[in-house]
Amino acid sequence: MEDLSIDGTAPRPNVSTEPARPLHDRELPVSASEADRPPAHRPATPTDSAADDPSVPTEPSAGPSSSDTGEPISEDLVKLALRRVKDPELNLNILDLGLVYEIRVDGNDVSIDMSLTSPGCPSGPEIMTDAERHLKALPGVGAVSVNLVWSPFWSPDRIEPRVRAYLGF
């Protein structure tokens, strides 16, 4: 016999109440390096067991560098990170919007020139902080510089053509 709830209907299956995220809104990995995997998926090393023993001296780790991951910092890697930075009002990333004017990679240092949709953009500080945060999160990145420029002034013509068509411009 089937179990019934108090109101006489069949019980509902346990379904998540979170809405499904659309495919285009999913987070993409910045790189596929060992450093990006959760600790549970990393192979155990001899230093892992020593970390639990207080009598064993440990050296501070400087974190993964581009030499550790085998992947040098490139303009493409920087672009991948910047695609995660969205204008909160338009819900589009800053590369597709044409807000990033120039990307410079000098060794481990990254510098970008970017603009905003308008000088009075209320989301400007949030966008620039997110850009800096995502760039600093790249493995092996040293100094990060996000420069706000107003020349040339941004216009909808700078939006990627495929996105412009999607928006109906």
Q: What is the mean pLDDT of residues 83-105?
A: 96
127/74 Cα distance (integer angstroms): 22
CATH code matching the domain that covers 63-156, chosen among 2.60.40.1840, 3.40.50.1240, 3.40.50.720, 3.30.300.130: 3.30.300.130
Query: pLDDT for 50-92, tens place per residue?
Result: 444 444 444 433 444 444 455 689 999 999 999 999 999 989 9
- Does pLDDT of 32 surpass 60? no
Q: What is the pLDDT of residue 1?
A: 53
Cα angle 129, 168, 130 (rounded to 5 degrees) comes to 5
Structure tokens at 115: 């603009």
Average pLDDT, whole number, for the chain? 75
Q: Which two tokens stand for residue 88?
A: 């909160």
pLDDT at 72: 83
DSSP helix/strand/coil, 75: helix
As a whole number, mean pLDDT of residues 92-119 equals 96
Residues 104, 34: contact at Cβ < 8 Å? no
* pLDDT band (50, 70, 90) for residue 122: very high
Residue 98 has pLDDT above 50, yes or no: yes
| pLDDT at residue number 7 | 55
pLDDT of residue 4: 54
| Predicted local distance difference test score (pLDDT) of residue 84 | 97
Q: How many CA atoms lie within 13 A of 52 on its CB side?
A: 5
Closest to 145 in 3D by CA, of 115, 112, 116, 114: 112
Domain residues of the chain, as ranges? 63-156
CA distance 52 to 60: 15
Select the more confidently predicted residue: 27 or 78: 78
| Rounded-to-integer distance, Cα 73 and Cα 107, Å | 7
- The Cα 96–Cα 103 span in angstroms is 14
CA separation for the pair 140, 118 (Å, rounded) = 33
